[in-house]
Amino acid sequence: MKELFQAVTIKEARETILNHVTFPRDGEKVSLLSALNRCLLHDVVAVDNVPGFDRSTMDGFAVRARDTFGASEGLPAYLEVTGEVLMGVAPEGELKPGQAWRIATGGMLPSGADAVVMVEHTEELDDKTIGVTRPVAPGENVVRRGEDVPAGSVVLPAGHCLRPQDLGILAAAGVVAVEVRRPLRVGIISTGDEVVSPEEKPAPGQVRDINSYTLYGAVAACSGEPRLYGIVRDDFHQLQERLARALSENDMVLLSGGSSVGTRDVAARVIDSLGRPGVLFHGVSLKPGKPSVGAVVNGKPVFGLPGHPASALVVFELLVAPLIRSYSYPQESFREFPLRARITRNLRSAAGREDFVRVKLRLQDGELHAEPVLGKSGLITTMVRADGLARIPAGKEGVETGEWVEVKLF
């Protein structure tokens, strides 16, 4: 077992875990309506062109662009209206020089047309004649066949996690089912002699189990498959039996509690007893959440999260959530902390340690402001009141009022 509190950085912790973990490679085919937030197992190729035909992006008149060249309000280009495009129907016939067809947004261009004049840029002289008061270029107000997605092209790459807009483009391209990674099964164990079920009335010195419920929700929010394994006392053999079972039935296991320095904490020793390489680090240079354990047992990651609810959720966001979502960690900081906000008070930080401050966001004078939600890591209300986490990098010794900070939303 690694010596307690030889703390590693978050970057080192992530690299260490990825170097030892083996994620399942199997997947399943699901319909689009079941694919939201799931990650693609393979590249997805478009069955058809999107759009499948040249179509108008405006209400107006389908024309040959050359027939409008030189048109102006003082000297309109006069065209004969000889047809109309009906929605959902392919136009019959051909648009000839000097002619125009009425067309609505989304309508299919008739043969011979290469542009659309907006209705605002025309004047109707009678039922059969319009004057075009502004010229259009070839392709103007038109989306060409396959311009959005060409048939046979890769619509979305392997590993991409599907968002609502992705479901739309797949549907447009004729893809009705996709192969996605199987969701990671995540076992959750709460530890501690003082922890009791929420259904029980705690005796003096006891607390209700919070972390099983917050972690269950957090795993589900990442599209993982959470499984609860109950509360285990600080007993080596009892925890060993429960953890061994959870490892055999899941792809990852989360332990809450039992990660701090103390004679009754047994989590790290139990982990080491169940397989190799075992505990990889015990202590991460961050606040809150320093006494966290990272381990891999026979290819499966095991995380010992702090017992304090706020600390457990912060460490989950940084070390666990990305693995459940995408089997990896973001390479760019802006993907994890995409917002910038001005901090509303001075905050101090220890040199060499990353601090993650719970903040409530508000818009003021056109700028985003982050108000720290202060409180001890054992208080779950600090997470409830907060909108996200503001990061104070390890190279700084704090931030001053008005300074910009990076923020990650919950």
Fold of 27-50+149-181: Molybdopterin biosynthesis moea protein, domain 2 (3.90.105)
Q: Which residues contact 88 (CB under 8 A, 6 or more apart)?
A: none
Q: What pLDDT is stored for residue 259 in this prediction?
A: 54
pLDDT tops 90 at residue 314: yes
- Amino acid letter, 148: D
| 334-409 CATH | 2.40.340.10
Are both 10-24+183-329 and 334-409 of the same fold? no
Q: Considering only residues 99 and 375, tell me which one the structure prediction assigns the higher pLDDT.
A: 99
Q: What angle do CA 219, 221, 224 make, to 5 degrees?
A: 45
Burial of 342 (0-12, 13-18, 19+ CB in 10 A): middle
pLDDT over 90, % of the chain:
84
pLDDT (average), residues 278-294:
93
Mean pLDDT value across residues 337-361: 93
pTM of the predicted protein model = 0.81
pLDDT digits (tens, 9 = 90+) for 168-201: 999 999 999 999 999 999 999 999 889 999 999 9
Domain 55-143 sits in CATH at 2.170.190.11
- What's 320's DSSP letter? I
pLDDT score of 4 more than 80: no
User: What are φ and ψ of residue 138, in 5° steps?
Assistant: -55, 130
Q: Which of 128-142, 257-271, 312-326, 330-344 has the lowest mean pLDDT?
A: 257-271
- CB of 142 within 8 A of CB of 61? no
CA distances from 133 to 136, 164, 365 (A): 10, 41, 43
**What pLDDT is attached to residue 264?**
43
Decide if 184 contacts 324 (C-beta within 8 A): yes
DSSP 3-state of 259: coil
| Bridge partners (DSSP) listed for residue 392 | 355
DSSP alpha helix (H) spans, 72-155 = none
C-alpha dist (Å) from residue 165 to 18, 172, 280, 334: 30, 11, 39, 21
Domain edges within the chain: 10-24+183-329, 27-50+149-181, 55-143, 334-409
Specify the CATH number of the domain 10-24+183-329.
3.40.980.10
Query: Confidence class of residue 266 from pLDDT cuts 50, 70 and 90?
Result: confident
Highest mean pLDDT pick, 316-325, 329-338, 377-386: 316-325
pLDDT digits (tens, 9 = 90+) for 36-82: 999 999 999 999 999 999 999 999 999 999 999 999 999 999 999 99
